[in-house]
Amino acid sequence: MPIRLGCIADDFTGATDLANNLVRAGMRVVQLIDVPAPGAHPPVDADAVVIALKSRTVPAAEAADASLRALDWLRSAGAGQIYFKYCSTFDSTPAGNIGPVTEALMDALGTDFTVATPAFPDNGRTVFKGHLFVGDVLLGESGMRHHPLTPMTDSNLVSVLGAQMRRPVGLIDHKAVAAGPEAIAARIGELRGEGVGAAIVDAVSNEDLVRLGSAVAGLPLVTAGSGLAIGLPANWGIEPSPVAARLPAASGHSAVVAGSVSAATNGQVREFLDSGRPAFSVDPLRIAAGDDVAGEALKFAEAHLADGPVLIYSTESPDAVRAVQDELGAADAGELVEGTLARVAQGLVERGVRRLVVAGGETSGAVVQALGLTSLRIGPQIDPGVPWCAAPLPGGDTLHITLKSGNFGGPDFFTAAFTLLDEAAA
Ligand SMILES: Nc1ncnc2c1ncn2[C@@H]1O[C@H](COP(=O)(O)OP(=O)(O)O)[C@@H](O)[C@H]1O
Ligand SMILES: O=C(O)[C@@H](O)C(=O)COP(=O)(O)O
């Protein structure tokens, strides 16, 4: 049977976040890493396929190109609607990539209108009058203003997206959303008439997203964080299932690799260190100086793997990150750290790690690519937006892996994740 929904995610943590919400809303979902070869068979028994790209921070033309290849494949697999998934904090720069990718997809699909909303109320992301709130504060006042690659300082998404698109950007405000699918459809008609190409949509609750989901059933393209996923499966008569997806039992050593410097990950690292568990800090300046930091981290891990989860982290405070960036440049520092953590993850798996937590979207992309993973099965949710996944390793074993968005998860995530996996297998 052809797939119904085809999804393109701009990073790997975001892809599992989206897949998780679709699974919880009842869809059978397969997540593929990167675009399959043209003509590769679509997975059987999947209602949706999520293609995970690492396109959030690459040059805009590259991101558009990769997204168009994903689109071609998803359409050939039968997808009747396309979902472009970006971050719930709208991570982007004036050069893109949310706007340019949206426009490339619109052009290819021949559509004149789409919606855009990063709202994900279960994780405290709400949009009101076009302004994005992260918890109780506006985006531009949240920790995202310090993000190393995509600092977000403007909370007005109409202006943020407007700066990235040629087409005019409008707003479907909360009055229309609260009034229901017909009012949203009427507002879409109005905006289309005014020549607006994309509209930021207010949403402050899951009910708003469900109403929006129903109103956009006929759009060839929707763009959003993972939140809108809860409102789409019903358009195909698919009902939410309370049963979390099942995974095969996990075995092997446990480890955490953290390359996120976001506020939530800083808290999780602190909690792990405070608990006295084994942890190794990766210093970007030592990598740049040519030290074998990955080798040292693996030696440390080897000595501690038998004692439970080992943490290898580059997570630092915003001030420390800024100091490193001043010396190395933000992009080079990011690449150096990602490359080192990816080598560490490879080494950990070679040493018997089969339960792996990865923190950070870019970091997850680098790790998943280095491990040669090609597809993920979605399992139980650890915290909103973060499921355990199972992936076949190139050698044939199964790796249980979770890709944690930098800003997701409770303070004890690095230990709670392993407890949940043990419980799920019991
Ligand atoms: N100590 C550090 N100094 C500078 N850059 C760092 C440091 N630690 C990690 N980075 C880089 O910061 C970026 C974090 O992005 P990402 O992994 O997507 O995390 P998040 O999910 O929090 O956005 C990565 O490119 C990573 O390599
Ligand atoms: O929508 C979200 O917030 C996440 O799914 C996401 O995209 C996370 O990106 P990172 O913070 O870079 O992990």
For position 182, which CATH number holds?
3.40.50.10840
Helix, coil or strand: residue 398: strand
My answer on whether 278 and 395 are in the same domain is: yes
Q: Which of 207, 242, 277 is the last residue of a domain?
A: 242
My answer on whether 169 and 113 are in the same domain is: yes
Q: Which two tokens stand for residue 10?
A: 């701009």
My answer on whether 259 and 373 are in the same domain is: yes
Supply the residue whose CA is at minimum distance from atom 24 of ligand 1: 334
- Tell me the best of 149, 256, 261 to mutate to test the pocket of ligand 1, counting ligand atoms within 8 Å of each CB and taking the most: 261
* Separation of alpha carbons 282 and 97, rounded Å: 29
My answer on whether 184 and 60 are in the same domain is: yes
Q: What is the pTM of this model?
A: 0.92
Indicate the number of domains in the chain: 2
Q: Tell me what ipTM this predicted complex has.
A: 0.97
CA-based nearest residue to 89, from 49, 39, 143? 143
Predicted pLDDT of residue 45: 78
Q: Which of 242, 272, 290 is the last residue of a domain?
A: 242
Predicted pLDDT of residue 38: 78
My answer on whether 46 and 144 are in the same domain is: yes
- Its domain, for residue 37, covers 5-242
Q: Which of 224, 242, 260 is the last residue of a domain?
A: 242
Question: Does any ligand 1 atom lie closer than 6 A to the CB of residue 334?
Answer: yes
Cα 361 to ligand 2 centroid, rounded to whole Å: 6
Pair 20, 37: CB distance under 8 Å: no
Question: Does any ligand 2 atom lie closer than 6 A to the CB of residue 143?
Answer: no
Burial class (CB in 10 A: 0-12, 13-18, 19+), 38: exposed
Question: Does any ligand 1 atom lie closer than 6 A to the CB of residue 337?
Answer: yes
Q: What is the CATH number of the domain that holds 251?
A: 3.40.980.20
* Separation of alpha carbons 48 and 46, rounded Å: 5
Residue where the block lists tokens 């506006």: 138
My answer on whether 224 and 297 are in the same domain is: no
My answer on whether 221 and 357 are in the same domain is: no
My answer on whether 173 and 277 are in the same domain is: no
My answer on whether 321 and 228 are in the same domain is: no
Predicted pLDDT of residue 279: 98
My answer on whether 210 and 313 are in the same domain is: no
Predicted pLDDT of residue 243: 60
My answer on whether 354 and 389 are in the same domain is: yes
96 pairs with which residues across the strands?
A: 93
Supply the residue whose CA is at minimum distance from atom 7 of ligand 1: 314
My answer on whether 57 and 188 are in the same domain is: yes
From first to last of its 426 residues, the chain has per-residue pLDDT tens of: 789 999 999 999 999 999 999 999 989 898 999 998 877 777 777 899 999 999 999 999 999 999 999 999 999 999 999 999 999 999 999 999 999 999 999 999 999 999 999 999 999 999 999 999 999 999 999 989 989 889 999 999 999 999 999 999 999 999 999 999 999 999 999 999 999 999 999 999 999 999 999 999 999 999 999 999 999 999 999 987 766 477 889 999 999 999 999 999 999 999 999 999 999 999 999 999 999 999 999 999 999 999 889 999 999 999 999 999 999 999 999 999 999 999 999 999 999 999 999 999 999 999 999 999 999 989 889 999 999 999 999 888 999 999 999 999 999 999 999 999 988 766
